[in-house]
Structure 1
Amino acid sequence: MMGKDILHKMKVKAGLSSSNTDTTGKGKTKMSGRHIRHGYHLVKGQSNHPMEDYIVAQFKHAGDSELGLFAIFDGHMGHDVPNYLQSHLFDNILRQPDFFTDTKNAIKKAYEITDSTILEKAKELGKGGSTAVTAILIDGSKLVVANLGDSRAIICKNGTAKQLSIDHEPSEEREIIEKKGGFVSKIPGDVPRVDGQLAVARAFGDRSLKVHLSSEPYVNEEIIDDETDYLVLASDGLWKVMSNQEVIDAIKGIKDPQAAAKHLTEEALIRKSKDDISCIVVKFE
C-alpha cells in the first residue's frame, strides 16, 4: 500500500449544501502488483431537502490482507441513517469472524445486525432509511458486492458493462410484499411504491414500513483479472438517466477516475436528472 490508509468520506450537514455544491476526491494504492485508483464526485439534486447521499472510499489493511472498501448510501426522509451506515456498516462487516472464510455470509449477517441497530435507534436516527451498495476488494483480486435498493454497481471487462447488483423494485417483489400484508401502488405519483410510500422494496431502516420491507441484501462475487477495466458505483440519480453500457462508454479514454466520476455526474445533469447524484469510479491497471 502506498502511504497511509486513504479514507474519503462525505458528510453533508443540514443547511450546508445547495444545488450548486459538490464534493469530489480520489485515492490510489497497489494490491498484489495491480495499481488501483479511485475517484468520486457527488452533486446535490434539485430537491428542497439537504443532500442525503453519503459515500465511503477507503483502502486499508485487515490482518494479512489489503482491502478496498467502497460504498454509496442514498438516504430518504433524512440523512441520519446513511450517515450512520457510513460510519458503522464496514466495521460491522469486518468484525464478523467468518469474513475471510465466508465473505458472503459475513456481509449478510452484518447487514442484518446493522439494520436491527438502526431500528433500535429510531428515536435517535429518525424514521427514515437508506439504500446501500457496498463493494469490498480483497487483495486486488476478489470483489464482493452487496446492495439494498436501487443504488447500483457495475464492472467493465473489455469495454463491456456487467451489472453486479440488483435493483430492488417494488413491482418485482410485489408477491413477497403482499404476502407480508403490504401492497404496491403507483398512487401517489407515477412509480410503484411499497404501501404507496417507498420506491424500493429493500432498504435499511424505515421502521414504519419494515414489516413489509426487506433488509436482506443481494450479494455477488466477481474476480478481478487483467481484462477488468473499471468498477462503477452510483446512486439512482445516475441510473435513472443512463444505462450500464452508456456509463462505460462515457468514461472510455478518461484515465483519471476522479475526472471520470465527475464526467458521469455532469452527463446525468445534462440528461435532466433531478435527484442527488453520487458516483465512485475504481480503475484497475
Structure 2
Amino acid sequence: MGGCCSQEQIQEFPDEFEYKNLVYLDITSVYGSQINLLAPDNVYKLPSPIKQLNHNCFLSNMPIKISGSILPGMDFRSGQTKICQDDYICFIHNNCIICVLCDGHGSEGHHISKFAVEYIEKYFKKHFSKFRHDPKSVLSEMMLKCDKKIIANMDCDLSGTTAVVLLIDGGIAYSASLGDSRAIIGTLSQIADVAHPRVNKYFRRITTDRNFKAIPLTQDQKPEHNDEMMRIRMSGGIVEKYTDAFGRNVGPYRVWNKDGTGPGLAMSRSLGDKVAKACGVISLPLYLDRAITIGKDQYIVVASDGIWDVMDNIEVINFIDKWKGKCDSIGSDEYPAVLSNSSISRLLCEEARYRWYGVAEQERVAIDDISCVVMSFTIDECKDSVIAGEGETKLVKLEGSTDFTNCD
C-alpha cells in the first residue's frame, strides 16, 4: 500500500497523526469489502508516472522552478489501468511561461485533450503579440476557436475536455479555464487557511512551519452554480443529479436534455461535448488575472480534479511547502517513490492517489487520472536556473504532433 504509515495508525489517529516521511509503492492492497468481491486477490500493480517535467529558469527577473507529472488512473473493478485522459504542456515563449492542462472525458476524451493542448500551443506561438495587447479577449477567442475545431473534426458528441490555460507575463498571471480543472496560488499570510478533514481513512493532516492562504486563479464551473444553471435552463437543459434504480440521487449535479436521457455532463463549460452544447454548456472560459508578488507568493499549482477531489487547496500548498525543499531536483519514475528520487509534482500526485484508495473503497469507483504542474518562486531553489530571453525554451514536449494547417 502506498504511503509511509500503517492503516491502523491512520484509523487510530485520524485528527492528530502527522506523517514524518514519504514512501509510496506501486503495489497496493485494497481493503473495501465491495471491491474485494470484484477482485479476490486484493493486490494491484499501480501505473507509473508519465510526462514528467523538471526545469529551472529566470523569467522577468523571477526565479522559477517548474515540475509536472501525470499518474494514469486505475480501475480496481477490472484491475486494469485506464486510458489516461489528462494531458499538459508547459513552455517558455518570448520571456513568458505558458501552461496548458486538460482533463478529457468520454470515450474520445484522451484524443480531445491531446488535440486541445497541441492546438493551444500552436495558437500561442502564431498569435503571441495579440496576447500582450489584450490577454482576456485573445484567451477567450482561442478557446472558442479550439472548440469549433474539435466539434468540426472530432467525434465529440459525448466526449470533451476541461482546460486551464495559464500565461505568466511581466509578473502577472493570466488564466482562462473551462470545467473543473483548477489553478491556485499559495501566498504567505499572517493567518493561515485551514483544511477540512475528510471522511476518508486515508486522510492525513498536513502542516508546515509557515502560514499560507490558497488563492484561486480559476473558478470551477458547475451546473448547479446560479448563473450557470440559469443559462442551462434558458437553453432548454435540466440540472439534476443522476437517479439510480431505487430513486436515490447519486453523484454530482449534471446537465441533461429535456428528456433526461443525456448527456449527463458534470460541468457547465468545456471543449467538445457537442450534445451538451445544445443544453446550454458553453466554451467561453472564465478569466482572471493577478500580479505575482515575489517574496510573498510562493507557489502556483495547475491540476486536474484528480488532485482537487481528494485534497483541499490549502492542503496542496502545505504539502508542497513541507516537502519541496527535500525533493530530488530531477525526479524519476522509480518505485518506491521517495523524496530522494521524486519531484514535488510527482509526490503530490502520489499523495492524491493514496487518498483515492478511500474513495474507491467507499464509492466503488475507479481512481481518476491525476495530473499537476507546480511552479515555485522560492529563490534559494533556483540557483542553477537558466535565463529565459527572446525566443523559446521548451520545457516539455508531449508525444506525437498534430499539423494545424488552419490554426487561426
TM range (shorter): 0.7 to 0.9
Highest relative contact order (Cα 8 Å, sep 6+), 1 or 2?
2
Deviation per CA, 1:99-154: give whole Å up to 9, x if none: 1111111101111111111111135x675110011111114x11111100000000
Larger CA deviation: 188-197 vs 106-115: 188-197
Report whether the alignment pairs 1:231 with 2:300. Answer: yes
Of 136, 141, 145, which aligns to 2:175? 145
Distance, in Å, in 2 between the alignment partners of 1:34 and 1:175 is 42
Structure 2 CA distance for aligned equivalents of residues 135 and 25 of structure 1: 16
Match among 45, 48, 59 for residue 31 of structure 1? 59
Match of 2:345 in 1: 261
| C-alpha distance after superposition, 1:139-194 (max 9, x if no partner) | 4x111111000000000111221011010011112221111011112114421111
Quick check: 2:178–2:270 contact (8 Å CA) kept in 1? Answer: yes
The match for 1:109 among 135, 141, 154 is: 141
Kindly indicate whether residue 248 of structure 2 is the aligned counterpart of residue 164 of structure 1.
no
Matches within 5 A, 1:174-185: 174-185=229-240
1:175-227 deviations in whole A, cap 9, x for unaligned?
Answer: 21111011112114421111151111110001121122111101111111211
Matched, 1:211 2:278: yes
The equivalent position to 2:255 in structure 1, one of 187, 191, 194, is 194
**Paired residue secondary structure (2:267):** coil
AA aligned to 2:274 is R
1:168 aligned counterpart, secondary structure: coil
- 2:119 aligned to 82, 88, 95, which one? 88
Flag the 1:198–1:179 CA change in 2: closer, same or farther, 3 A: same
Give the aligned partner of residue 275 of structure 1: 368
Q: Is the 8 A contact 2:89 2:100 kept in 1?
A: yes
Q: Contact (CA 8 Å) 2:164, 2:181: kept in 1 or not?
A: yes
1:241 corresponds to which letter in structure 2?
A: V
Query: Is the counterpart of residue 69 in structure 1 residue 98 in structure 2?
Result: yes
Q: Secondary structure at the match of 1:187?
A: strand
Matched AA of 1:209? A
Q: Secondary structure at the match of 1:80?
A: helix
Distance 1:74 1:225 in 2: 29
CA offsets, 1:212-255, max 9 Å, x none? Answer: 21111011111112111000011001101111111111111413
What residue number does 1:4 align with?
none
- In proportion to residue count, which structure has more strand? 1
Does structure 1 residue 58 correspond to structure 2 residue 91? yes
Tell me the alpha carbon deviations over residues 56-93 of structure 1, each in whole angstroms, 9 at most, x when there is no partner: 111222xxxx1111121000112111010111113224
- Separation (CA, whole Å) in 2 of partners of 1:194 and 1:27: 40
* Aligned residue identity for 2:271: F
Structure 2 CA distance for aligned equivalents of residues 137 and 32 of structure 1: 10
Task: Give the 3-state SS of the residue equivalent to 1:191 in structure 2.
Answer: strand
Say if 1:76 and 1:19 are closer, same or farther in 2 by CA, change over 3 A. farther
Question: Counterparts of 1:19 and 1:207 in 2: how far apart (Å)?
Answer: 33
Runs of 4 or more, structure 1, over 4 Å off, are none
Is 2:184 the counterpart of 1:154?
Answer: yes
Identity %: 28
> Using the alignment, how far apart are the partners of 2:222 and 2:86 within structure 1?
19
Distance in 2 separating the partners of 1:143 and 1:155: 10
C-alpha distance in 1, partners of 2:184/2:148?
A: 28
Instruction: Give SS of 1:165's match.
Output: coil
Q: Distance in 2 between matches of 1:57 and 1:240?
A: 23
Query: Which amino acid letter does the alignment assign opposite residue 37 of structure 1?
Result: K
Instruction: Say whether the 8 Å CA contact 2:89–2:99 is kept in structure 1.
Output: yes
Preserved contact between residue 80 and residue 126 of structure 1 (Cα < 8 Å): no
SS of 1:200's equivalent in the other structure is: coil
- Does 217-226 or 25-34 show the bigger shift? 25-34
Letter of the aligned partner of 2:289 in structure 1?
A: E
Report the count of equivalent residues.
262
Contact 2:223 2:253 in 1 (8 A): yes
Q: Aligned Cα RMSD in Å? A: 1.9
Q: TM-score, normalised by structure 1?
A: 0.86
Structure 1: distance between partners of 2:255 and 2:87 = 24
